[in-house]
Structure 1
Amino acid sequence: MPLRAALFDLDGTLVDSLADIAAAMNHSLAHHGLPTHPTSAYSHFVGEGVMELARRAASGGDEALHTSLLTVYRAYYAEHLFDQTVVFPGLLPLLAELDREGVKLAVLSNKSDGFTKKLVKGLMPDVPFAAVYGERPGIPRKPDPTAALALAQELGVAPGDCAFVGDTSVDMDTARGAGMVSVGVTWGFRGVEELRAHGAQALATTAEELGAALRGVRAGG
């Protein structure tokens, strides 16, 4: 059987959001009198939730500092999350094709749930995602497979019939932990070596290659 569902990470996989994330956190760092970072540095700060983003951007500090950083970050980001963020080339037509082929589509991100939903609705309003989830209270973040497994159950698809598509080790580890097919995209925030080292079963450098990978991989293969 071909894969019946494709679960997508958001930042670095579906959308190029690094510049807006960096701008928001740099704004918060400057507000707190802390050094800022070039946008490229944020490619290694993101991926494991906003608290980890704050900790890495602050180069340490205590929980009170991180919480304060995030308060300013969230307020700024809420007003600027569409400034430079765009869908990666070729993905909108691919998602439409997959839907026509009967593949169930969903998003699972470590980004805050509200921002995840807002970005998907704003940038991909015509994509019929069956579910869109970000980080939610009480649910472990990726790479813990809990959310991915719950999402597969919600879609009515066995984990082995799902592909998990992402751009970081976190996504590949999530796929492996959930028993899903791991598909890495190389246009995101990390590199081929990281994806391979964490068990990517297929790699794509373009939307066309991603489509071929999703159509070519068989559940459990």
Structure 2
Amino acid sequence: MLLRAVIFDLDGTLVDSLGDIADATNHALAHHGLPTHPESAYLRFVGSGVRELIRRAVPSGQDALIEPVLASYKAYYDDHLFDRTAHYPGIPEMLTALAAQGTKLAVLSNKSDDFVKRLVARLLPQASFAAVYGERPELPRKPDPTAALALASELGVPPAACGFVGDTSIDMDTARAAGMYGVGVAWGFREVDELKAHGARAVAATAAELLAALRDARP
């Protein structure tokens, strides 16, 4: 069976957004008199949704400041969403090639839904995404498979015929839980060993390798 649909994570998979996320969080932390973090620390902070990002960034024992810092983060990030964020090399061409062969495309991110839709519309306008899901109150975040399964249903494709592409263990755990074909990308926010340990069926080092891995997949 060839893959009939592919669901993509966003941050660390399609777009490199780490700098803007780090800048917005550090701005919010400093605004509330809290210590900031080096950009590299955010490689481990991201992935589980914005509230968890802020919880990890706020010092232990300062939980009362999580909500105020979160509000400051959202306000700043809303105005600086595109300062440093860009798609990774070869991503538009890879998406175009998949769509040209009839593969349905979708995005599933733990990032706030509004930010996900704005990033996709601005940075990947040529991509033929059938659906774009960010964090929504009615759907649990990845690695819970509920949202991935809802996407498969919306696309009209059985989960076993769906690929799921991401850069973290959360994405590979989602793929396994949903019964989808998980493919990791080596250019994202986590290590290749993490992807393999969580069940990646393949790991791609470039967009061209990703395209080949998805075309060669045999779920």
Q: CA deviation at 1:62?
A: 5.4
Q: Deviation at 1:63?
A: 4.8
Once the 2 structures are TM-superposed, how far is the Cα of residue 61 of structure 1 from its aligned partner?
4.0
- Alignment partner, residue 144 of structure 1: 144
> Contact conserved, 1:172 with 1:198, CA < 8 A, in 2?
yes
> Kindly tell me: are residues 62 and 146 of structure 1, through their superposed partners in 2, closer, same or farther at Cα, counting changes over 3 Å?
farther
1:29/1:36 contact within 8 Å kept? yes
Is 2:90 aligned against 1:90?
yes
Gaps of 5+ in 2: none
- In the alignment, residue 168 of structure 1 is paired with which amino acid? T
Structure 2 equivalent of residue 5 of structure 1: 5
Partners of 2:13 and 2:37 in 1: CA distance: 22
Q: Distance in 2 between matches of 1:61 and 1:111?
A: 25
Percent identity, aligned pairs only, is 67
SS of the aligned residue for 2:71 comes to helix
CA distance in 1, matches of 2:59, 2:183: 31
SS at match of 1:208: helix
- 3-state SS in 2 of match to 1:130: strand
What amino acid is aligned across from residue 172 of structure 2 in structure 1?
M
Query: Equivalents in 2 of 1:213, 1:125: separation in Å?
Result: 24
Q: Is 64-73 or 153-162 further displaced after alignment?
A: 64-73
Moved over 2 A (4+): 59-64
Q: Distance in 1 between matches of 2:11 and 2:183?
A: 15
Q: TM-score, normalised by structure 1?
A: 0.97
> Following the alignment from structure 2 to structure 1, what is the Cα–Cα distance between the partners of residues 161 and 53?
32
Q: Pairwise CA RMSD of aligned residues?
A: 0.8
1:60-99 map, 5 Å: 60-61=60-61, 63-99=63-99
**SS, match of residue 129 in structure 2:** coil
Aligned to 2:46: 46
- Note the alpha carbon deviations across 1:8-63, whole angstroms, 9 max, x for none: 00000000000000000000000011110111110000000011100101133455
Report what 1:170 is aligned to. 170
Measured after TM superposition, the shift of residue 66 of structure 1 is 1.1
How far off is 1:65 after superposition? 1.4
Secondary structure at the counterpart of residue 131 of structure 1: strand
What secondary structure sits across from 2:48 in the alignment? coil
1:132 counterpart letter in structure 2 = V
1:64 Cα deviation after fit: 3.6
Superimposed CA distance per residue, residues 98-157 of structure 1 (whole angstroms, 9 cap, x where no aligned partner): 000000000000000000001000111111100001000121000000000000000000
Structure 1 spans left out of the alignment, 5+ residues: none
Q: Is the 8 A contact 1:55 1:61 kept in 2?
A: no
Could you tell me which residue of structure 2 aligns to residue 159 of structure 1?
A: 159
Count of residue pairs brought into register by the alignment: 219
Q: 1:42 to 1:207 in 2, by over 3 A?
A: same
**Offset at 1:81?**
0.8
